[in-house]
Amino acid sequence: MDLQVVGDYREMSELGAKIVSETIQEKKNAVLGLATGSTPEGMYARLVEKYRRGDLDFKSVVTFNLDEYVGLAPDHPQSYHYYMKRNLFDHVNLDPVNISIPTSSSDETLEEACRQFDKKIEHAGGIDLQLLGIGVNGHIGFNEPAPYLKTATHLVELAQETIEANSRFFQSKEEVPRKAVTMGLGSIMAADKILLLANGKNKAPAVRDSFSGLVSTETPASLLQLHRKVTIVIDREAASLL
Ligand code: F6R
C-alpha cells in the first residue's frame, strides 16, 4: 500500500489527477473505474484542464462508474449520471459508447442490468485504474458495512450514515434515495490499480479503521489492504488519526 499524505484538498486533487493522467498516457485505451461525490471534483477539474491544454486524450478511454442512486432520472441534478456529465463527460472527448454507469431503471430489470454491467467490465478486460472515495462509515462505492459483502454489481439499501452524509446535496434528508446500485467488491478488487482519495477531518475515523492492519467487512475499505497496487492519497486532516 502506497500511502501519500498531502497538505490539503488542492494537493490531493493534483496528485490524484497526475496518477490518472499517467495511466491514460501509458495506455490510450485505459479502462477507468470512476467515483462521484465531493472528493474527486477537484481532481476531475484538473483532468479537464489537462485535456484543454492538449496533455490528455480521452478518445479511446473506457469508463465504468461505481454506482448510481435508484429512482433518480439521469437528468436529475443529484444523479451520478448528471454529476459525471457536469464534472467530466461534457468537457472531454470521451466517446459516449465507452461510458457505462450502473443503471437506475426499475427493480424488476435491475438484476439483469447488473449482470450485463459486470459482463461489460469483463469484456473490456477489467479495470486498469479504479478511483475510490471513502464514506464516513468506511464504505467504498455503495458497499456499506455488513457481515457479508457482495462481489457482483448489486442493489443496495443505503446505510443511515450515508443517507445523512449525502443529504447535504438534497433539499432534505427525506429526498435522499434509499436504494442504489453499486459495483461489488469483485470488480473493485480485480482492478489492476486502485487510487483512493480522502480529505477532511470527518473522514479521519474511517481512514484509521480502514488502514490499521485489520480487515473487516464492517469497514469495507479495509479490504483494500489486501490489494497489491493501492495508492491512498489523503490530506493531513483525513490522516490525523493514523
Ligand atoms: C461515489 C461513491 C462513494 C463516495 C463516498 C464519499 O461514487 O462511490 O463511495 O466516494 O461516499 O463521498 P464524498 O466524496 O462526497 O465524501
> What one-character DSSP code corresponds to residue 188?
H
Sign of the four-CA dihedral 152, 228, 142, 51: negative
| Residues 91-125: tens digit of each pLDDT | 999 999 999 999 866 655 888 999 999 999 999 99
Nine-digit cell string for 119: 459482463
Kindly report the number of other CB atoms within 10 A of residue 97's CB atom.
7
Nearby residues of 118 by Cβ (< 8 Å), 6 or more positions away: 152, 153, 186, 187
Q: Read off the pTM.
A: 0.96
Task: Please state the three-class secondary structure of 84-107 as a single string.
Answer: HHHHHHCCCCCCHHHEECCCCCCH
- pLDDT surpasses 70 at 234: yes
3-class DSSP state for residue 211?
A: coil
| Mean pLDDT (the chain, rounded) | 96
Cα–Cα distance between 221 and 143 in angstroms, integer? 9
Share of the chain above pLDDT 90, in %: 94
Mutate to test the pocket of ligand 1, among 12, 64, 142 (most ligand atoms within 8 A of CB): 142
pLDDT at 104: 60
Which residues have a catalytic role annotated? Answer: 67, 137, 139, 144
Domain limits of the chain?
A: 2-235
Ligand 1 touching residue 200 (CB < 6 A):
no
- Whether 149 and 184 have beta carbons less than 8 Å apart is answered as yes
Helix, strand, coil shares of the chain as percentages rounded to 5?
40, 20, 40
Over range 135-148, report the average pLDDT.
97
pLDDT at 202 over 80: yes
Taken in order 179, 224, 20, 28, is the CA torsion positive or negative?
A: negative
Q: Name the closest-CA residue to atom 8, ligand 1.
A: 141
* Ligand 1 atom 9 nearest Cα: 141
End-to-end CA distance of the chain: give it in Å, rounded. Answer: 14
Within 10 Å of residue 62's Cβ, how many Cβ atoms?
A: 21
Task: Supply the pLDDT for residue 1.
Answer: 93
Local structure of residue 157 (DSSP, 8 states): E
CATH class, range 2-235: alpha beta
* Separation CA 132–CA 141 (nearest Å): 7
Over residues 201-230, mean pLDDT: 98
> pLDDT tens digit string along 18-71?
999 999 999 999 999 999 999 999 999 999 999 999 999 999 999 999 999 998
| pLDDT computed for residue 126 by the predictor | 97
C-alpha of residue 66 to centroid of ligand 1, in Å? 10
